[in-house]
């Protein structure tokens, strides 16, 4: 209920329309059809895909599929959004479009981007935490933000981050 993930591989269900892919988390939670229609339509418009609602994932470009993936993740209004290599399968133009969406989302939620392409994401981030072998090796503020001053993470927070990361990797391994 508090966290959502945007996968590098999109993880869309190919036999479902864009609308139904985005609506899936709401259906699982028992939302009414009227509420689903309203929320999905609004979310697809927000990510620039309103006119693609009745199409299937394979009819879309990689950038459009990734925006569907983002829409599906944010439809539940998570407090934390983890984006695992969200631009890894995209050209530069679509990559920047996805990063702009994630930047907008970061105004009211924690957005964590896991990437190997630091130079691409650097203009969009406010903080960079580097890991090596599951350990935090650096934590730096990149761009100033209008939010309250960001403080470096404590040793206890580092331990918690490592626990979350290790749990996430175990979960990714166990689930196809």
Q: What is the model's pLDDT at position 58?
A: 95
Whether the per-residue pLDDT at 149 is higher than 50: the answer is: no
Give the three-state DSSP class for 128. strand
Please name the residues in contact with 112: beta carbons below 8 A apart, sequence gap of 6 or more.
80, 81, 82, 83
Please tell me the distance from the alpha carbon of residue 144 to that of residue 78, in angstroms, as a whole number. 24
E strand segments, 103-147? 110-114, 127-132, 135-141
| CB neighbour list of residue 111: distance below 8 Å, 6 or more residues apart | 80, 81, 83, 102, 103, 105
| Mean per-residue pLDDT, 83-103 | 87
This prediction's pTM: 0.75
Rounded average pLDDT over 158-164: 62
Q: What is the pLDDT of residues 35-50, one digit of tens each?
A: 999 999 999 999 989 9
Q: What is the mean pLDDT of residues 21-39?
A: 95
């Amino acid at each position: 209920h508090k966290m959502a993930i945007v996968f590098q591989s999109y993880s869309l269900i190919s036999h479902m329309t864009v609308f139904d892919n985005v609506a899936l988390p709401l259906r699982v939670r028992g939302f009414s059809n009227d509420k689903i229609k309203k929320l999905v339509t609004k979310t697809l418009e927000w990510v620039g895909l309103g006119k693609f609602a009745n199409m299937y994932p394979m009819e879309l470009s990689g950038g459009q599929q990734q925006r569907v993936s983002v829409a599906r993740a944010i439809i539940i209004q998570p407090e934390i959004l983890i984006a695992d290599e969200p631009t890894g399968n995209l050209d530069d133009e679509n990559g920047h479009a996805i990063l702009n969406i994630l930047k907008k989302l970061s105004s009211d939620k924690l957005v964590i981007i896991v990437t190997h392409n630091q130079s691409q994401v650097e203009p969009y981030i406010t903080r960079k935490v580097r890991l090596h072998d599951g350990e935090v090796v650096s934590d730096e503020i990149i761009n100033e933000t209008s939010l309250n001053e960001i403080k470096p993470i404590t040793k206890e927070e580092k331990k918690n981050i490592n626990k979350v990361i290790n749990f996430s990797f175990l979960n990714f391994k166990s689930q196809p």
